[in-house]
Amino acid sequence: MNKKKRKHHAHPILIIGAGRGGSALLEMFLDDRLVEVVAVADPDPAAPGLKLAMAHGIPVYADAVTALRACEHFPDCIVYNLTHDDTVADEVNRVFGRKNTISGLEAKLFWQMVTNMKRVKAELEKSQSQLLAIIRHVMDGIIMISATGEILGFNPAAEKIFGYTQQEILGKNVSLLMPEPYKSEHDSYLQRYILTGVAGEQGILGIPSREVEAVKKNGKHFPMELSVSEMPLKDERYFVGVFRDITERKLTEQKIEHLAHHDYLTGLPNRALLLDRLKQAISLAKRGDRKTAVLFLDLDSFKQVNDTLGHQTGDLLLQEAASRLKNVVRSSDTVARAGGDEFIFVLNDVGSHENASLAAKNIIAALSEPFALAGKTCRVGGSIGISIFPDDALDSGMLLIQADEAMYAAKRNGKNSYKFYRDISG
């Protein structure tokens, strides 16, 4: 049989009975530096404890008497008798005495304790393995930092999101992942929280989740949803952040927001956004004692283009017309598609009727150039009605009605022209 090198200053142990209990006991002692199993005995050559002992170079014996005699030169040897054989117990007591022997109910209790400890250890190891697997494979990024902001943990999802490897980021301050001004303020904020327990208005501690801006390794800023929890451990305080990159979500939200307030075909503000802009313009005009003009445009001959060249060409015409109309007005003004081939303009601080008239002429001129659409050329014009705040009306709804009426008057007057509401109201 093989003999392994003895541990220094380790207490010798002899195990008699290498069944389930003896094997569990041996497994526990193998990890203990203060004790050393010097021999294991069992008459069953298939006993699991014997196999484990041989794998670790521990002497094994087929009977207890031989094992006891082999260990007589260890006077301080402790014998764990896990058998129910009274003759074995008597021989153990004869060689080493009762003070060095653990047997009977005492051995059974010890075996149960060892078995329970082994089970608990296995369960803890399983839980730890499951937790590590979750951390490794979870889609959310996880960062663990110390009370000084030093990064202690960085899971694979965090590596993917930020572009840093664990080797690059561990030990660095977490402010490396923040843009200014949060980068410079982070350490003082964290220390203030540790001293006072108060998170502060701009903090994320104690909040289920918050949208913040972060910085990737390549310097690119991106929106991130973050929640941070404090994790006291012994006498130390740690913080764990769970986060996700919400760039795609923010882009989707922006698209939805845009579609809610803009025309899907031309990208111009829709009627809902127009009404909001018009109310704001009127409010500003009231405070500044200024004028706001509303121009209602209907394309002339658009129905003929739609009927002869098809709806696809008609859509292209509307898109090109919208592009021209945006370039006619100032950036402070608004042009919206009201529906069909109708467009509405809100001109802020128009000053006079002459300025509104000049804007209408510019719109008609922009539409007079021929449209080249998918290899086809067509022409349209425009009829425009104009109402003025506060000269014609004091509220947005009435101004739109008046501009619409003036537009129909312009159509009746021969199209490709404009009319003021005051000129048709009598």
Same domain, 278 and 419: yes
Q: Can you give the pLDDT at residue 1?
A: 43
User: What's the pLDDT score for residue 425?
Assistant: 76
Domain, as residue range, for 75: 11-117
Report, as residue numbers or ranges, the catalytic residues: 341
* CATH number of the domain encompassing residue 17: 3.40.50.720
SS (H, E, C) the chain: CCCCCCCCCCEEEEEECCCHHHHHHHHHHHCCCCEEEEEEECCCCCCHHHHHHHHCCCCEECCHHHHHHHCCCCCCCEEEECCCCHHHHHHHHHHHCHHHEECHHHHHHHHHHHHHHHHHHHHHHHHHHHHHHHHHHCCCEEEEEECCCEEEEECHHHHHHHCCCHHHHCCCEHHHHCCCCHHHHHHHHHHHHHHHCCCCCCCCECCCCEEEEEECCCCCEEEEEEEEEEEEECCEEEEEEEEEECHHHHHHHHHHHHHHHECCCCCCECHHHHHHHHHHHHHHHHHHCCCEEEEEEEEECHHHHHHHHCHHHHHHHHHHHHHHHHHHCCCCCEEEEEECCEEEEEECCCCCHHHHHHHHHHHHHHHHCCEEECCEEECCEEEEEEEEECCCCCCHHHHHHHHHHHHHHHHHCCCCCEEEHHHHCC
Kindly state whether residue 112 falls inside one of the protein's structural domains: yes
Pair (72, 221) in one structural domain: no
Whether the full predicted model's pTM is greater than 0.85, yes or no, is: no
Count up the domains in the chain and report the number.
Answer: 3
Residues 301 and 398 occupy one common structural domain: yes
- Specify if 371 maps to a domain: yes
Task: Tell me: do 323 and 393 sit in the same domain.
Answer: yes
- pLDDT computed for residue 2 by the predictor: 46
pLDDT along the chain (426 residues), means of 10: 56 88 84 86 93 93 90 84 77 72 64 66 67 66 88 90 93 90 72 63 60 92 88 81 91 90 93 94 92 96 87 92 94 93 95 94 94 87 95 94 95 89 84
pLDDT for 125 equals 66
Shared domain check, 298 and 172:
no
